[in-house]
Chain A
């Protein structure tokens, strides 16, 4: 029975190998292969992004007729409820926006993502956002695109580095397609998802972004998401933008903290997942009774603001900012599915508008550039602040507004907003959980090298094992033959590790022949030694060594001695690992 099973697995392994072998025999150059794969991934994730976008528009407008009824607040509740049940019970994936999962997979699991992730978040986001939940479709398409890249890499038996590149290609293709923004797609993939810049990655990502954008243009036309007229920006406007940067930074921090706190609060107070999501959805529906613009992704509102057609006064705009922040925190914090990208853009544009109204109120005589311009710059400030990724903020806005004319204030606001947010919140919204768990380990850093190296790669197995009943005379014969100063002592009968003898321990008796037959190792060995386990974290072992001023440590598994771990070998392997990891 067991044999049969074994044979089956072997056959299975053999089969999968055969597939890769067949492939490798006419394998293209690795770089060319990666570029072609990148284009394929960009196309597929671009299609997935378009599908979600179309579905969202469809569901949202289908439900539009129902929104005039008094019970319309229950719509987001129902959507969030269904989305939570779908994620939890059917596809068994965690709620939330999913981007940190992609980053975690890139950093820790070599870009492995599940096949079902290619569609799961598209469905749940469609339910949450289509029903009116305040969240964006970008994070779900990013997750989906990343999963597409990862699974295509798996299909062709690519290695982890290539898989990570394809994951980023999927991300770039998705963002490029959904915003018709190739540069933003590339920059987001590199700055936020990968965290490192290397030519090896950027080239396939560029191809993926082009493919994703092109498929989007073919299928829904080459339109700029938020088109606008040219703005004439004066010196006063640029100065005023610094104030806007501060305001967007404050809003970013507010949104980040509210998202987290509401998440913890709802987790504590409402233990049932679906009930939590439904209550969150109902609350959003309640807010929408007063401020209907908070519903959904909210791009419609942005278009109005950039065109300068949003007529509400300063108080309403101020409340809109807070209402959107609250609605987003409720939707995502309570377990709805969707991203913070679109809400950030909405909050950013309202913040820009608010700032413009304030300026006009304080200095009514100065001529300011149109309010649309401030809405635009506010979006960049908000994105840069919350993601702590200034380049993504700048290029996304340039791409989606087609506005190179506002580049100077854009750069300024993005930089100032990022700097302020970084000062107040050391980790960005995406990375915070990863950093708290100690999982944010970029390649080529100390933490990553130590995390990648395993204890069994460092074991020195040339130690001669001795027994506790051995006479000093016998031991000296062993010392003669050994290359090392450490000798592990095992129990003569059970073979269990007892302790260590160091050459220094017997040095005083080394030339005293009378002691040779009178001393046994039991009398000179150390029983209280620090030991390590083969599965221990290397950073923790090193910390222990530093604390106790040790240069080496025995590694023990199930009471058996496996080998020695020494700083000398570690340095050797550490350097090799570092050189290999920092190679681009």
Chain B
């Protein structure tokens, strides 16, 4: 099998070597690369090409199925994350610690140990700086993403029974928490940015103050998200 020859289009070889096709074409013509033209395709011995690439500081990495998977993964939407996390009303607590403990208990999909861990993480992050972003909203989240515990990112919405002084930037008491838990930093930033797009809107804030039910909230968020997607694809 070591002598087996592969027959690929030149573009594919160029992509695997991370080179412009024009360069591969020229190198084949000049005889600098162990690849031969065969009809419209190119013929090469994979082991020989890999050895050659390594000797010249290049990498031969064919686009395999693993690479495709990461590329085609669709990023989670805000609605999906909020739906996954659920919307809870009447969360009780007199202090940040208590309220976060109650909020974490709403994340029923986490095992008790993971809940404990998350609670600790959330408190740690609060001690760094309050996540109260003003207008009575807080977005508690752990500093490091939770890897291995969850399969998709979640935002758990918790409306408090009584507004609580949270040390927010505008010093207004907080009446709603969006507990944001994600697998990766990128995911976290993306969701946070989308959430903040909604929260910047005055009308959405007034709507939040009415303590809407889960369906109404998700519906409204969905509308905002569509606007956002439209804006991204406009150009």
Contacts and interface: CB of A to CB of B under 8 A. Distances in A.
B57 interface: yes
A577 B43 CA distance: 21
Interface in B5-27: 19-20, 22-23, 26-27
Interface in B25-42: 26-33, 36-39
A575 interface: yes
B97 to A, nearest CB: 37
A583 B56 contact: yes
Given A21-B38, A573-B23, A576-B57, A110 B32 contact: no
B58 A576 contact: yes
A24 B43 CA distance: 10
Contacts of B235: 464, 474, 477-478, 481
8 contacts: A160-B30, A160-B31, A453-B23, A454-B22, A457-B26, A576-B19, A583-B32, A583-B56
Interface string A150-173: 000000001111110000000000
A563 to B, nearest CB: 11
B32 A580 contact: yes
Interface in A5-56: 14, 17, 20-21, 24
A312 interface: no
Interface of B: 19-20, 22-23, 26-33, 36-39, 43, 55-58, 231-232, 234-235
Contact of A110 (B20, B22, B29, B57): B29
A544 B37 CA distance: 37
Contact of A159 (B28, B39, B55): B28
Interface in A336-361: none
Given A457-B23, A579-B56, A580-B56, 13 more contacts: A17-B37, A17-B39, A160-B29, A160-B30, A162-B31, A452-B30, A453-B23, A454-B22, A457-B22, A474-B235, A576-B56, A576-B57, A583-B55
A163 B38 CA distance: 18
B171 to A, nearest CB: 24
A162 B29 CA distance: 10
A458 B19 CA distance: 10
B213 to A, nearest CB: 34
Interface residues of A, number: 32
A452 B20 CA distance: 14
Given A110-B29, A161-B32, A477-B231, A20 B20 contact: no
A523 interface: no
Could you say which of A17, A160, A163 has the most chain B C-beta atoms within 10 Å of its C-beta?
A160
A459 B19 CA distance: 11
A534 to B, nearest CB: 11
A34 to B, nearest CB: 10
A41 B215 CA distance: 84
A22 to B, nearest CB: 11
A579 B231 CA distance: 46
Nearest 3 Cβ contacts at the A-B interface: A159-B31, A161-B31, A160-B30
A61 interface: no
B32 A581 contact: yes
Nearest to B43: A24
Contacts of A458: 20
Contacts of A454: 22, 26
A366 to B, nearest CB: 58
Contacts of A232: none
Contacts of B38: 17, 20-21, 24
Given A24-B38, A456-B22, A159 B56 contact: no
Given A21-B38, A159-B30, A160-B30, A579 B57 contact: yes
A456 B37 contact: no
A24 B36 contact: yes
Interface string A553-584: 00000000000000000000101110111010
A70 to B, nearest CB: 58
A20 B37 contact: yes
A474 B26 CA distance: 41
B117 to A, nearest CB: 35
B49 to A, nearest CB: 13
B20 A457 contact: yes
Contacts of A110: 29-30
A110 B32 CA distance: 12
Nearest to A110: B30
A511 to B, nearest CB: 15
A228 B63 CA distance: 69
Contacts of B56: 576, 579-580, 583
B27 A580 contact: yes
Contacts of A580: 27, 32-33, 56
B20 A456 contact: yes
Nearest to B21: A457
